[in-house]
Amino acid sequence: MRKYMIVSHGEFAGGILSALELITGASSGVAVLEAYVDENRSVESAIAELLQGAGEDEEWIVFTDLLGGSVTNQVLRVAAEMGVAGSVHIVAGVNLPLVIEVVMADPDVPVREVLAEAIDVARDQLVYVNDLLHNNND
C-alpha cells in the first residue's frame, strides 16, 4: 500500500494538501506534518508515529520542502533508526504539480518510475512566465 506524507517548516504542507484536495479531490492516504508550528510536539516523534507501518505492508513517499533542511534530515534519520529506509522514498523541494502527479499515479507502477516522471513534470512547471509571454509576442 502506498501512502504519502508532506512535511514542511510551518504551514506550507497544509496548503499543498488543501490545493491537492481542491484540484483533484484526492487526499486519502496523504498525511501532513507542519514542523515547528506546535512547540509541544516533537517533529521526530510525529514522523515516527506516521511511519509505524512502513516496511511491513506500507510504502511511503515523503515530500519535504527543502533539500538539506531540518525536516528532510529528520525524516531521513527517523526512517534509518526505524529500519524502514528502504520503504520510505523522500523527495525534497515539493511543489503542487509534483504531489498531484505522484498521488494520481497508477499504484501498480514502480515507485522509482513514478517519482522520475513526476519530478520531470514538476521541473517543467517551473517557468518564468514573463519570458514565456515575451517569446510568444515575437
For 119-132, write each residue's pLDDT tens digit: 999 999 999 999 98
Tally of structural domains, the chain? 1
Task: List phi, psi (to 5°) of 33.
Answer: -130, 115
Can you tell me which residue has the cell 517557468?
A: 127
Reference 101, options 79, 75, 120; nearest CA is 120
Enter the C-alpha cell of residue 90: 523522500
What is the C-alpha separation between 122 and 100, in angstroms, rounded?
A: 9
pLDDT in tens, 24-70: 997 788 999 999 998 878 899 999 999 987 877 889 999 999 999 99
Q: Give residue 41's domain range.
A: 2-137
Q: According to DSSP H, which parts of 25-128 are helical?
A: 43-50, 70-82, 96-103, 111-124
Of the pLDDT bands very low, low, confident and very high (cuts 50, 70, 90), residue 138 is: low
CATH number at residue 116: 3.40.50.510
